[in-house]
């Protein structure tokens, strides 16, 4: 029996099955991590403007970005930086001087 190209690629034949090899993608070609980017922006906003909500949202986006990490080297740097900004924002909001105390009357 002569095998044609259609029967050679038949997935039902175990002898012709090949394991899946994912294509290699360079780190520059990876899609943008929007959760990591939002975590950085919200973390900086939480520290600069002392918004508690921005700091809490930054922590949530850090967790999401950490869970969906594709490139461990680059993404870990971004997630750790965003997490530090979020924690600094929360520390300054909850343990820092009160905003109303700084206003002179």
Query: Is the residue at 49 inside a domain?
Result: yes
Tokens 């002392």 sit at which residue?
50
Q: Which domain holds residue 84?
A: 32-95
What pLDDT, in 10s, does the model give residues 19-40? Answer: 889 888 787 777 888 999 999 9
What pLDDT, in 10s, does the model give residues 36-75? Answer: 999 999 999 999 999 999 999 999 999 999 999 877 877 8
What total of structural domains would you count in the chain? 1
Query: Is the residue at 5 inside a domain?
Result: no
Query: Is the residue at 104 inside a domain?
Result: no
Q: Is 87 exposed, middle or buried (0-12, 13-18, 19+ CB in 10 A)?
A: middle
Query: Is the residue at 26 inside a domain?
Result: no
Query: Is the residue at 39 inside a domain?
Result: yes
Query: Is the residue at 71 inside a domain?
Result: yes
Query: Is the residue at 19 inside a domain?
Result: no
To the question of pTM greater than 0.75 for the whole model, the response is no
Rounded distance, CA 76 to CA 50, Å? 25
């Amino acid at each position: 029996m002569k095998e044609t190209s259609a029967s050679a690629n038949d997935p039902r034949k175990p002898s012709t099955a090949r394991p899946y090899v994912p294509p290699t993608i360079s780190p520059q070609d990876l899609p943008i991590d929007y959760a990591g980017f939002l975590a950085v922006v919200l973390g900086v906003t939480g520290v600069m403007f002392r918004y508690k909500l921005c700091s809490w949202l930054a922590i949530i986006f850090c967790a999401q970005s950490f869970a969906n990490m594709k490139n461990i080297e680059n993404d870990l740097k971004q997630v750790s930086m965003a997490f530090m900004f979020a924690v600094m924002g929360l520390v300054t909001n909850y343990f820092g001087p009160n905003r109303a105390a700084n206003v002179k009357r």
